[in-house]
Structure 1
Amino acid sequence: MKIKAIVIAPYPGLSELTLSLQNELQEFEIVVEHGDLSRVLPLIGRIHTEGYDVIISRGGTAKLLQKHSYLPVVEIPISGFDILRILTLAKGYNAKCEMIGFPNIIEGFMSVSSLMEVDISYTVIHQEQEAGAALADAKARGIQVVIGDSITVKMAAESGLQGVLITSGKESLMEAFSRAGQLYKSSEKLKSKNEMYEAMLGKLQGGYAAVDQGGRLEFSNPSFKHLLKLPQTADTLYTMYPGLREMLRDAARGADFDGVTAVYEPEQGLYVQAQVLPGADERQLYMLVASEEKPEHSGLAASYLLAEAPYFSHQEEGGQKTDSLAYPAAVYGEKGSGRKRYVINASLSESRDGILYLNIRKSSEEVLKAVMELMLYGGGRITAIEGTEILSPKQQRELAEFIIKRKMKTVFLFDKDPEVLAAEERLAGKLLRSFQNRSTPLPALRDTAWLERSIRACLIWTNERQGKQIAGIRGDVMDVLLAQPWQGNFTELRTVMELFVSSAEGAFIEREALGMLEEGSRKARRGLAPVPGREGLNLYQPLENIEQDIIRTVLEQENMNQSLAAKRLGINRSTLWRKLKEN
């Protein structure tokens, strides 16, 4: 197969020379287009659609093409023979001569002219727009002959000066085609390797992508787009996942999202890891790895939560708005009770970009260091931290000292009253004192006076997400929902409503939907399963006591159903019964 090359010739003579050499360039399919700097940009769009492998041009035209085209551009060099020929011609003029041009043209002439003792001056320009001023200055200094490229020579003639065009000979053109052939063969080998790597990545179960700082996808395998539910034509992440913008900003500042820290994307329930890729150009590229499973070595999950309108709020009918927060602060309540949303609502006036949510899952010095670094990278960003009680007392004191010294805007999230955690020796006194008198309890959903309003608002919100037009909920269904204990609070309500709306065929949620209520409740409670060290699980006690706490917690989440609890624990019912009896 021949190499399809287009030659952009800035002057007619180059077109003629190229066409005359076609018999010597059998490996190329050559198209010649006349175009100087003023015409090259309109040509680029057409060049890109006509399937060329390489572009060949020279001077300022080649430089402009390199800047605006993704195709390889080979510049026709100025050979030693070309320089000698032009300088010999200039030496024969009985007039003051000056060469005006771009650095890549001028530099060779300057070296040779001094050796040949040719009396010629030089003016270097970097943009086409500078040529007019350079010519005016040359004319004012008594220059009569201007040597330059096609644009400069044309403008010189318009100014009443004689112009001498720097042309390229056969040797220079043949060298350009030789380089073009080598470049094409190298790029084909690289292209073949890239196709092989892409095919290999396409077979992997995990989602892999390369993105730039603007969130534009340079590459993504099918699994990545499937996991993030991206359209096949999607070329940017920020449209659907604006929170990832902050993630990449932190990665650029030095955040390590490939080790102890993973980013959790709550909308799709995905973990995303990132690392900086070495780039050959000026753009910064990142490799993203998406998975539904928590990375094995991750002890910290970070989420960038945006301040989007919630479908619920913590205020009575006609009551006051959520109070703004003073820092450090604490918010506590049952899982799923809307602690993160409360923080976002309370901080809207300070943080229109939302908050950084950090969920500590392991106690280690590496995790503590990662927490502090992410808080520093965010500058004045508000950070909500959950799982602080997992850290050792020493680590908790270090964190408290760091937050107080740096005046970090921090909100701690707990499943129960921090005073109770301190009494259980799970919360260090220094950390507790850092937010004392700035602790806000949140009621469970079942205890609120606005439960029905939240149910109806959740229906509206789910309609919007699923593109449905459910008009309402039948009265008997609403009565059951109002009597539901909602142990998973708003998280459980959202999960149940998603099942109801997705299965609804008419304009209302009918009684038949109640068959999915237990399924949705169980699914939500499993998603809220405690991380070891939280939800009343005290690690500072004997092993047999920890085991009993785990069994009790799982039983409560499964509504005391021993069969389901045993299945989750990976033991049979008789073993579970024996362990309960021992207690």
Structure 2
Amino acid sequence: MIKALVIVPYEGLYEMMKEVAQEVEDIQLQVELGNLYEGVAIAKEAENNGYHVIISRGGTASMIQEAVSIPVIDIQVSGYDVLRILTLVKGFSRKAAIVGFSNITQGAATICKLLDFDINTFTITRDIEVKEKLTNLKNLGYEVVIGDVVTVQAAKQLGLTGVLITSGKEAIIEALEETRRTYRMFSRLQQDVSLFQSILDCNQQAIGIINRENKIVYGNESFNKEFHWIKLENSTNIKELIQETAITREKQTKTVHINDSFWKITTCPQEDNIVLFFEKNLPNQAIVQGGDVNLNAIEFHTSAPYIPISGKSEQIQKVLKVINQYSRNEEPVWISGEKGNGKELTAHSIYLKRKTMNEPFIILHCDILSAEQLKDLMNEDFFQKYANGVIFLKNIDKLNSNMQKELYQILKNEKDKKLQWIVSSDDTIEEKVRNGTFYPELYNTLAQLKIHIPPLRERRKDIEDLVHVFISELHPKYGNGVVGIRLDALEEITNYDWPGNVEQLKQVIERLFIQTHSYYIEKDEVETVLKRLEQQEKTRDALAQIDISGTLEEIEQQVINKVLEEEGLNQSKAAKRLGINRSTLWRKLK
């Protein structure tokens, strides 16, 4: 039996491999999700656990081949895969290009010519060319990039829409055939490797091997259990110990603090590698914990992926122009708009455009931040401690009046270095300021620069582009055959008012994507989902009108009367909606 680990870079391929694994009898397939360096880490561990072969895809497969000694099978991109994605992006209104290695671009270029698709192809020979190539394409007006995982990730970092070429079942079957051929060649070698690996894994002492570039090339079972290899490699103490051993070519012993424990490490030079033997020291240690601040109310980000704000409408283009304008200075920015309309995404965009080095992006969720937590932050001098970063006060209008005044005092007492503030609220904030429910001085201080994001129903031109973007993002996540949406179905979606705005649209597209069993989302499917959505909205509106301050019996009576009213006093229909029979309803109405 061939023991193979499949490391896939996206969720859709993960699900497809799981299905194929149930159909294969001569290969024991273990499927793991991991891309690039994460995939390499999984592969290294797999090599130590006796796997015969690793199956992966694209850039992840190439990196794994450099990191392990067992065979690595690459799931090739087939012509079917390219054709599926080209069909998917045909509905995009924006300028698109295919960027990748020759195994992708040669076949793609031929298919584009045969089917008369207006999509140019660009070939790269090394990973390091990707960013430069995509930057040039962006300057030439390209907005959509089709390629492998590495290309798509680089595209998104540059603010382009990246569309992943996913692998179909045909490519998986071919990879499994290659696995069988390769296993026959390497089986004897694999048996020898497993023997020596078993000997080392029986040793309870953690043993690792690091090369001169400070990269871990091997760790036994105890080593992998105790340490996370990336953190260990980044340890300054470990680096110094390796350098000293490499220079002197002599055994060294040093006590190092790793993962809240002290370890006695003995190094032994072996050709181009250093063998490390770990022995735990000082077992009774206290781990210092953080303060009392509820971390659910605070998020720290030292980096954030760039997610472009999609839309061709005049309104959203105006928002993008204002974002660029406000990103050139450090004055406070106030973002207003309805729920689900991308206020946090706008804040992220401003932060990334202002960012020069490693300044943090700190989100304070004002809707769950308590008065005690705010006082703790003030007492710890939290805001001055992170004065080099950007602080985003999300839903600032949810703060009570006392907290608003305390926050104003923080702004008023700012020291030499001014904090960078970005805040968000609903679009009724100015009315709240006028009627006194929001502290005017705080508003005037933070609302020096304003951005209003109009609701989706006022910029329906953006809906088509958003739908195609969402479908392209869902394709690698679920891996099904959906490549687009029918025009009549798109018209239904465009005509809907979307009270939950972009976030609600995204959720609905995901629901349609999952339940669709053909290549295109159909009109009848959209009508069913939107009808259910309208009913949910009506139910929410009805519940909002019910007074819950009374007794349970009084609340029940309000619900029954409301349902009866909506059903035109028809008791049979009302009882059915309430999930009770007519006699029970009649008894409750007495």
Relative to the length of structure 2, the TM-score reads 0.41
Structure label with greater radius of gyration: 1
Relative to the length of structure 1, the TM-score reads 0.41
Higher RCO, 1 vs 2 (CA within 8 Å, ≥6 residues apart)? 2
